[in-house]
Amino acid sequence: MPNRDFEGNAVKSIRKSAAIFLFLIFLSVYGAASDQILLKNAKIYTMGEMRILENGMILIKDGKIEKIGPDIPAPSGVQVFDLVGKTVIPGMVCASSSLFLENHDLQYSGEEKPDTNVLEGLNYLDLHIPQVLKRGVTTVYISPVSFRFIGGLGAVVKVISGENGKIQVLQENAALNFRLERLQDKKTSNVLRLTQYHKIRGLFKQAVEYRNEWAEYTGKLERYEDEKKKLEEKEKAKQKEPQKPKKDEAKEILILAMDNKIPVRFIVHRPDAILQALQLGKEFGLSVILERGEEWPQLLHELAEASVSLLSNPLLDYRSYLLPGGTKGYPAGYFQVKETDLFYSDKESVRGRDPGQESWGKLTDSKIRFALVPPDRFPLSAGFMRIYAAFLSSHGVSPEFALGAVTSEAAKILGVADRVGSLEEGKDADLVVLDGEALDSLSKVEMVFVDGTMAWEKK
């Protein structure tokens, strides 16, 4: 990470020491429970190379999956769970959520800086956490979405109840969030969207200049050092040291994005906005993740060509966002948008978009990496990933594709596939036990394990 200013450093070091302290508590709490656990006789969706084990076993040790397979000899003193008739799936991954955040506090942030880091604003005691966990979602990307055009840096964390402030960060700086379209705000227009595009582009261009400036400086400095060695002592004093440019935290982040160290997420809806995102990605060599992007079926070819990742949901429909009463399901007047604020001209049919059931099937064959996200920004929506996957699988995609969109594929897009998203040896023992088929909406969650510990059990 580049240098931070004084305050940033202070916050970071406090956070670090707090994290170490909490980790110690965590160890002491979990130390006692670090016995081995054996799950057997379950149907296991591994979401890895082993695909589906009809009658499989999982051995858990020290919070990790020690072994997984059709038959594992039970070590002595192991705690055994006989799961006849049950299904085991990996702990689910929600690729966009506002869990751990206070009521939309970041959405109204005044700063428009790429180095706004969501980790610095987490609410460790969010009461929503157990309610999401009990539905089998164990990992979330916390999205610093702002109504402004820059959200900032998001992070991937484990969904563990906030007691003792336990929180596990899987990936810091998991993505840089931008918004190319503002929909949930008053008074917005196409012109504004264009302005946002140019603001984002301007930022990246400044970052390119900044990079060039530093490259020039390092070049000059090298030459200066070389010459200094050759020259006599007397002449050395005459040589002028090149001036060091000022460090800029925000631009450093953008450079990391341009070096593909941090993926860039664009919240987009309409086809023209999707194309703008692709254009930005191409111009600055970004690794692009499109979030929402309801109109992707129109641009399937372009998306595949640009090899971007897509985060969407068949339940999304941007035309309904701007209804005068707000979208139902939100409290009345939640968005306070008037009819005159509508900028989509198609007033007559607010839900007229073809559900496009068949187009989802095409996604399976394309090279586009896809994961599901909740259709809204409410914290508890992160808990319904299995519902979204079930609904997706009624759209002509295979059940494995739908389940992958809330487990392994989501983990890959978030860059945490080495830890979570599939049940394979060496990975975190985050898993969900269901009393029925994995995607059957009627089956219920019976147990949720996080890091090998039973985090929730149905009473």
Write out the residues near other proteins by the rule CB under 8 A.
131, 315, 317, 320, 323-333, 339, 347-355, 374-376, 378, 380-381, 383-384, 387, 390-391, 393-394, 399, 439-442, 444
CA atoms within 13 A on the CB side of 300: 13
Closest separation in Å from C-beta 329 to other proteins? 5
- Residue 50 or 380 with smaller CB distance to other proteins: 380
Closest CA to 21 of 164, 151, 212, 132: 164
Helix axes 271-284, 190-230, angle to 10 degrees: 10
- Residue 75 or 324 with smaller CB distance to other proteins: 324
Other C-beta atoms within 10 Å of 144: how many?
24
- Residue 73 or 329 with smaller CB distance to other proteins: 329
- Residue 114 or 375 with smaller CB distance to other proteins: 375
Closest separation in Å from C-beta 174 to other proteins? 24
CA atoms within 13 A on the CB side of 280: 31
Closest separation in Å from C-beta 396 to other proteins? 9
CA atoms within 13 A on the CB side of 25: 13
Closest separation in Å from C-beta 156 to other proteins? 22
Closest separation in Å from C-beta 350 to other proteins? 4
Closest separation in Å from C-beta 267 to other proteins? 18
φ, ψ dihedrals at 218, nearest 5°: -65, -35
Closest separation in Å from C-beta 326 to other proteins? 8
Q: Mind spelling out the 3-state secondary structure of 18-54?
A: HHHHHHHHHHHHHHCCCCCEEEEEEEEECCCCCCEEE
- Residue 135 or 427 with smaller CB distance to other proteins: 135
**CA gyration radius, the chain:** 25
Closest separation in Å from C-beta 375 to other proteins? 8
Closest separation in Å from C-beta 353 to other proteins? 8
- Residue 49 or 339 with smaller CB distance to other proteins: 339
Cα distance between residue 395 and residue 169, in whole Å = 34
Lookup: tokens for 139: 């990992």
Lookup: tokens for 342: 């509508």
- Residue 249 or 440 with smaller CB distance to other proteins: 440
Find tokens 């993740």 and name the residue. 289
- Residue 254 or 337 with smaller CB distance to other proteins: 337
Give the strand pairing for 92-97 and 137-142: parallel
> Residue 68 in 3-state DSSP?
strand
Cα distance between residue 297 and residue 291, in whole Å = 14
CA atoms within 13 A on the CB side of 161: 12
- Residue 194 or 315 with smaller CB distance to other proteins: 315
Calculate the alpha carbon distances from 96 to 156, 349, 383 in Å.
Answer: 9, 29, 11
